[in-house]
Structure 1
């Protein structure tokens, strides 16, 4: 399912199904940082979907792709989101949660199956995003408020 659009040439004319798609698979972050981020988005009136909300029994890949494509700002199911950034001109905002962006730029694994992941990781790590390690004394609540503020500004100006 593609986002509604009156003109395929301009992302500003698209009507998105969601403001933000949050993609974090692990229970460790869904019960912590990601859960707090999602709840704060809801409280700020940001229409967000998180990948653990996807319906049971649905084919995960197809439904994930629909949720990513239907969201104005995906945060981050990397390969598909970077593809949508290129093809749909979405705004992509990476969060580097206890990860050094330079480590992401140059992964050391030599497995040939990771070629598309490496390209997407490199592309994403070169985008301006949020890096908890270097922000607000690593205070997660303040970090989340900064992310929400930045997203709200983007949603209101683009």
Structure 2
């Protein structure tokens, strides 16, 4: 069982993002800015070769004091992103992990309600998982919860 003690954390920040949307722009800049401040930050390019991706990500999420969720247009089309999101929210509840949403070129209400371009991305995933209604319900609930948290909107800040 992971400890909620700040001293037991391996990472200060875990960044959850859709790679093809933000890896070569926003996320890279965010990672660089955090690193310059000596903030230990995990992004998925730090996975050890040969590790099972899901287990490595779960361990990194649990080993982080803060999770930053970068909601982008394609975020909701990724099963991996949504599974990360569910785990992040579990850590928020169980270990008081701080969760900060960033809405990167996405309206927060679209992320919260799965509407607009964000909703179109979720619909693509929904089609692939239409037989797994429980998983879809869990993802929808997690999106609504996370997108309701106080965060940052990229249209309002640089």
With the shorter chain as reference, the TM-score category is 0.7 to 0.9
TM-score by length of 1: 0.74
Q: How many Å separate the matches in 2 of 1:44 and 1:22?
A: 16
1:80 is matched with 87
TM-score by length of 2: 0.74
1:21 is matched with 14
Structure 2 unmatched runs, 5+:
70-83, 116-122
Q: How many Å separate the matches in 1 of 2:48 and 2:5?
A: 29
Are 2:56 and 1:63 equivalent residues in the alignment? yes
TM-fit CA distance, 1:2: 2.3
For residues 112-141 of structure 1, the C-alpha deviation after alignment (integer angstroms, 9 at most, x for no partner) is 241111111111111100111122xxxxxx
1:154 is matched with none
Q: Is the 8 Å Cα contact of residues 25 and 52 (structure 1) preserved in structure 2?
A: no
**How do 1:1-158 and structure 2 match up within 5 A?**
2-3=2-3, 11=4, 14-76=7-69, 77-107=84-114, 109=123, 111=130, 112=133, 113-135=135-157, 143=158
Q: CA RMSD in A?
A: 1.9
Q: How many Å separate the matches in 2 of 1:12 and 1:33?
A: 30
* 2:98 partner SS: coil
Length, aligned pairs only: 129
* Deviation beyond 2 Å, 4+ runs, structure 1: 11-15, 108-113
For residues 74-122 of structure 1, the C-alpha deviation after alignment (integer angstroms, 9 at most, x for no partner) is 1233111011101111010011101111111112546424111111111
Higher alpha-carbon deviation: 100-109 or 68-77: 100-109
Q: How many Å separate the matches in 2 of 1:13 and 1:104?
A: 30
Higher alpha-carbon deviation: 107-116 or 93-102: 107-116
1:140 is matched with none
Change beyond 3 A, Cα 1:28–1:119: closer
